[in-house]
Structure 1
């Protein structure tokens, strides 16, 4: 996704179970490989992460 994507929108590479089929493969984008998940952003589940992302989006609206 060279132009990026909005927060809360799934990456086009994710499958129906939200797993990345590119994980660990050479064609995985560098940005993904460099991402270090943090509890404050990712929470302890996908649902929690989505709630946190929504709160961050609201807090940083221009």
Structure 2
């Protein structure tokens, strides 16, 4: 496990989120930036009461997040592509 990098936001862009999230009642498609990210790629709803469970359940690990934001986006996008239902 590792600490999330401030300003990364890769986990808020790459994956598909099927459950409703604040501002996105139908969820979020893969590759679409979450509406709750600010201009600096920081979550605006982090630790609020309406912070989604799916987001709470994500834990940063080096194998997913690598050494920088670009690597994290590439890895998480590849994982999303490899696990997308046919």
Query: Where does the alignment leave 5 or more consecutive residues of structure 2 unmatched?
Result: 1-18, 21-25
- Taking only aligned residues, the RMSD between alpha carbons, in angstroms, comes to 2.2
Q: Please say which of residues 38-47 and 1-10 is displaced more in the overlay.
A: 1-10
Alignment of 1:11-50 (within 5 A): 11-50=34-73
Bigger mean CA offset, 14-23 vs 34-43: 34-43
In 1, Cα distance between the equivalents of 2:83 and 2:49? 34
Provide the rounded CA distance (Å) in 1 between the counterparts of 2:55 and 2:74.
21
Asked whether the equivalents of residues 14 and 21 of structure 1 are also in contact (C-alpha less than 8 Å), the reply is yes
Following TM superposition, by how much is the alpha carbon of 1:59 offset from its aligned partner in structure 2, in angstroms? 4.1
Please state which structure has a larger fraction of its residues in helix: 1
How many correspondences in the alignment? Answer: 62
- TM-score in terms of structure 1 length: 0.69
Q: Work out the CA distance in 2 between the residues paired with 1:59 and 1:29.
A: 24
Question: Which is worse superposed, 3-12 or 27-36?
Answer: 3-12
